[in-house]
Amino acid sequence: MNLSAYDIISEKINKDKTWVTPDNKMLLSREISRRKYVCISKKYNQNLHCNDYFIIVLDDIPNTQAYSHIRIDNYGRVKIRLNVIWEDSALKYITKEQNINITHIEGTDDGDIYQLDI
């Protein structure tokens, strides 16, 4: 088999984007807006027969959903714990730091919603 026709995939983490660390089940991002509170939510996708996961960042405390405070590290990265969805999603198969894609779904004056592409 001739493998020279294929490019090698780089395993280097792009720390300017969003990535997860499986050791502490944490999402780190420079793409997510800096707000006070974060909620992690899911919605069943009828077409794919699985759940889609969302990060909701808010300025005000949500009335109907569990939330936590957003932490920002010394490098300006948003840090969000994903342990509430880790075992129920494809995240449980990640064994080392890896970039993941997020999509900004909706934004208002008091919050933003991002979809995790996992």
The answer to whether residues 56 and 39 touch, using CB atoms and an 8 Å cutoff, is yes
Quick: pLDDT tens for 80-100: 999 999 999 999 999 999 999
Quick: pLDDT tens for 29-65: 999 999 999 999 999 999 989 999 999 999 999 988 8
The answer to whether residues 81 and 66 touch, using CB atoms and an 8 Å cutoff, is no
The answer, as to whether pTM is greater than 0.85, is yes
- At residue 92, φ and ψ (nearest 5 deg) are -65, -15
Higher pLDDT, 10 or 52: 52
Query: Domain coordinates of the chain in residue numbers?
Result: 18-117
Q: Which residues are 28's β-sheet partners?
A: 19, 79
Quick: pLDDT tens for 67-80: 999 999 999 999 99
- At residue 91, φ and ψ (nearest 5 deg) are -60, -30
The answer to whether residues 41 and 58 touch, using CB atoms and an 8 Å cutoff, is no
pLDDT at 8: 74
pLDDT at 9 over 80: no
Residues whose CB is less than 8 angstroms from the CB of residue 81 and which lie 6 or more positions away in sequence, other chains included: 24, 25, 26, 27, 68
